[in-house]
Amino acid sequence: MPKDLEIFLLRSFVTVVRAGSISRAASIMGLTQPALSQQMRRLERAVGRPLLHRSASGISPTRAGEELIPYADRILALAAQALAETGRVLTGRCGIGLLEDLAAVRLSHALADLAQLHPGATLEVLSLPDDAIREAYDAGRVQLVLNEVPALPGPPTWTLSRPLHWAVGRGVEVTANPLPVVLFSHTCSWRTAALKALDHADRPWRVAFESNSLTGVLAALRAGLGVAALMPMNIETTMTCHDADALPPLPAIELGLARHPRSAHDPLIDAVETVLRHMM
């Protein structure tokens, strides 16, 4: 008989990874640490591979854990959506403006899954400069915008903080002087945070590569051109190293969702917002 991945085990796993420790995750979920540790062992037995790496600094996912995270997120989002929308067919159109760093990862997959569940619905995902997203929002083409809070075209419905981490290109020495840095060419909190952190730590740096897109930044990292500040969801396994602690800590960024006031009580847009919130 094939093994099943139990929803509550996946939810516990995702919570542990996000919290970075068993104790914090247990507090969030209202469980004891032994009970949560037992759940993680059950999930590892079901998968057949270790999912968590335990160290003095906390919990981090193994390679198998990193591979499971996007699937777990999608399963949890779809389960919530199925419970909310069972028996109801959604139709209509929803435009979603996403920060490129979010559009490039599992959010787009989750939205595609939602569209497949409701073939009568049309979803359009736009990843454009902030001014263009604002114009689309004002024109009614976009009903939901998930972005950094200062760049939102309207007041946020909800907000959350997400950490920035260092992504290290293959073969890059993080103790290099000056440190080669890969940057987004346009001004953004990612670029500002990385340079401020290095300056505050008195770490000499040089610009090794600049790009106006996440695709370009990731390509430069794969080529081993330097280090970059990214959200964890965009950092590939080959872009981590054991010496990353030699780099200064990075701050969290505040993300938020703006919803167009004319979209109130629209079932499709309610469903899309639910997916975005669960995935984040």
- pLDDT, one tens digit per residue, over 190-207 is 888 889 999 999 999 999
| pTM, entire model | 0.67
Chunk the chain into consecutive blocks of 10 residues (it has 280) and report each block's average pLDDT, rounded to whole numbers: 71 84 79 84 88 80 87 78 63 88 68 77 86 92 92 90 88 92 85 91 94 89 93 80 77 90 85 80
Task: Write down the pLDDT at residue 1.
Answer: 43
Place of tokens 């198998």: 64
Q: Which pLDDT value is given to residue 11?
A: 83
Distance CA 92, CA 109 (A): 19
* 114-124 b/e (C-beta count within 10 Å ≥ 16 → b): bbeebeebebe
Helix/strand/coil for 55: strand
Residue 88: the pLDDT is: 66
Q: Which helix (H) or strand (E) holds 216?
A: helix 214-222
pLDDT of residue 111: 77
Q: Which residues contact 71 (CB under 8 A, 6 or more apart)?
A: none
What is the pLDDT, as a whole number, of residue 60?
84
All structural domains of the chain: 7-61 (1.10.10.10), 88-155+259-279 (3.40.190.10), 165-250 (3.40.190.10)
DSSP string spanning 92-130? EEEEEEE-HHHHTTHHHHHHHHHHHH-TTEEEEEE---H
pLDDT digit string, tens, across residues 35-81: 888 888 888 888 888 888 887 767 888 888 888 888 888 787 777 66
Residue 86 confidence (pLDDT): 55
